[in-house]
Chains A and B, each alone.
Chain A
């Protein structure tokens, strides 16, 4: 993809708020200025990470032949279950580098979770439903959030200090977009970050029709 480079403004507002952890709120729009959902914001602190111990188990549901949530962010090492809520089988697979795996046709929840121990983007598909697409984004930090439909997200209760803020979106070009930022946070500060990024075109995939309308 040959997206032209473009400049964007980063506005960081530092608010004096002592005695409590800091918050970071972000707003992400695409190159047309439209709010961008499913953008992942993560804060990485150099040195020791904020939380210790094994991360909690997480789940990537399959409901109505869709992955729910569409984008799941997990900390490195998180075991993820793939509960099948439909009454048909699914065949979940990933050919992505951080985690190649395959859950051949199954019903219910496979007993063994899939542990994501490398950071990066894992694209999930279903072998028998071409349109089913989900992402698991593996980060090495407990401080992250996913933008909602309005393109907004808040990473709450982050420690003060200097953090590297990273941004990821399923359709962004990671090679050409330079979105990493250094952010110095003070206690009780709520920092606001605005991003405008270029995203790839999303190709449609034909979906078998079902009752109640069409959705891809």
Chain B
């Protein structure tokens, strides 16, 4: 029903309202669909109303027009009937007047003189008596004896012989017709002059003129026009009650031949619509028509007024509907916009300001739910913050993301253990606050390194830190992350030690053990108290490896599993060991960080070291000693070479049993 144009019109007219109504809600931020929602509401309201109103208007209009047309039709039919009766009566009166003359003895006497002048003046005398417009006396041979219209003419053939013919067929010798006399319609009657037998015809004519039309109009309350057909087949108005300017239109309408006799048609005359009934006059051979008309516009005037009232109501209805639609749209959009703002605040982490919508409807409920949700989110955020401080943020998220229940899952994890060497000794002679301060500073730094690599601090055990890579969140490069963390921790410690030196605090050194293994990760503890951690041999091994750093004099020891999980690093094999509590030997490595430009030299030394290790395991003590001695000579600070030289000296002195495979067994942690 509605094309794009009206919709646009509605939208454009709605703009001025939007400015004032929603000014406080930062229109620029309003999402587009709210605008269209309001527009849709407007279009729907107004569209429905318009459809109903237009339909009602059309129905009423059609009904009133039809009813007016029917009323006029029936009035015209009645008018036509009474019109015919009137004409008949008038004819009767004319005949009576003519008969009086036909029996008038004085006239008969005048006639018997056969003097033209006498007869003519007697005719005129009688014509004035009855108010006729013309009289003729015609002989039985149809020769005009006297003619009041043309007093000089007599002795000619009577021009309206068909009138006489009609009279001759009548038993009384009488006739009444509508005759065109000099092109104008005349109601004419003829009776015989009785002397006492018919001796001549007396014709009496009455013009059909405006006076007659006016008289008929007063009786019938309709406009009446008499039109006569001219010789050329056109219509000529003989008499009419219509205004002068309507006559040409009437003639045009008649000449268009759209009318039927005695059926109503609508003629448009000077812009006014007339319901018209064309009544051919009897006995005029269809040469004269009476056109009865009533103005349709005049009849519709009261309903036009009604239409005007309806149009006013329509406009008022549209206006009120628009207001209602805007009010409803506002009642909906304003709370929605408030909610949107609230949601934006929540997104930005502001849980302090609940949305204020004081409505008892669905939107009010929505706002309450929103506020409840916001309280819940604030609570959760607080819990998460707190939890994140107690456990790591990732674990806090893991705990919050699902129901907390005991139990775990197997997954591959890289465990990194770090420990401050000689911490106990350092604690001596220091106040606990100072120790705690030093420890906190240290733990804060290493924690941040761990977290920056995506690792999770599982727990602090005094000065030791256990951290996980691969639980609760796993990455493809968890082992690498652990190794980068170890490097980062060493670098962070170096920076911290510089600060400590400046502050007069003791410098710290740490050992780091890294192992990659499949362990059980999950919540452990009791139903009421639990924590998220990992459990398994791999965890213990990582702790043992950390313990080996001091023995080998290296900062970081990793297992063979970790090495193969992070192969992109450079490693130096340290030993094949059997740690306490384990029977299977483990190859341990030290990740090596090269200074830039010394890569090839470092790699060569590591190759050399690995060759010496092979000599050592092949019981080629002398070659091994020679190699290690060379290495120790180059790097006297490297404790590992001294360690192997010492061990080789002992082995050379007392060679191991035959089943020795180069495994070094630790009997303590």
Contact = CB atoms under 8 A, between A and B. Distances in A.
A123 B195 CA distance: 8
Contacts of A201: 168
A131 B197 CA distance: 9
B145 to A, nearest CB: 14
Interface string B188-199: 000010111111
A205 interface: yes
B171 A203 contact: yes
Nearest to A100: B112
A95 B112 contact: yes
A126 interface: yes
A203 B173 contact: yes
B140 interface: yes
A81 interface: no
Contacts of A123: 195-197
Interface in B88-135: 99, 103, 105, 108-109, 111-112
Given A1-B140, A93-B105, A100-B112, A130 B173 contact: no
B197 A133 contact: yes
Contact of B196 (A1, A132, A204, A206): A132
Interface string B160-176: 00000000100111000
Interface residues of A, number: 20
Interface size class of B (residues with CB under 8 A): 10 to 19
A166 B112 CA distance: 28
Contacts of B199: 95
A205 B196 contact: yes
Nearest to B198: A203
A192 interface: no
A125 interface: yes
A196 B551 CA distance: 180
Interface in A120-162: 123-127, 130-133
Contact of B108 (A95, A124, A132): A95
Contacts of A93: 105, 108
B99 to A, nearest CB: 8
Contacts of B105: 91, 93, 127
Nearest to B196: A125
B95 to A, nearest CB: 11
Contacts of A170: 197
Contacts of A206: 99, 172
A12 B612 CA distance: 193
A82 to B, nearest CB: 15
Contacts of A126: 196
B167 to A, nearest CB: 9
Contacts of B108: 93, 95
A163 B168 CA distance: 38
A100 B111 CA distance: 13
Contact of A95 (B168, B195, B198): B195
A111 B198 CA distance: 31
B91 to A, nearest CB: 16
B203 to A, nearest CB: 16
Nearest to B111: A95
B103 A130 contact: yes
A126 B112 CA distance: 15
Contacts of B194: 125, 130, 205
B195 A204 contact: no
A65 to B, nearest CB: 12
29 contacts: A91-B105, A93-B105, A93-B108, A95-B111, A95-B112, A95-B195, A95-B199, A123-B195, A123-B196, A123-B197, A125-B194, A125-B195, A125-B196, A126-B196, A127-B105, A130-B103, A130-B194, A131-B196, A132-B196, A133-B196, A133-B197, A201-B168, A203-B171, A203-B173, A203-B197, A203-B198, A204-B171, A204-B172, A205-B194
Closest 3 CB pairs of A and B: A125-B196, A95-B112, A203-B173
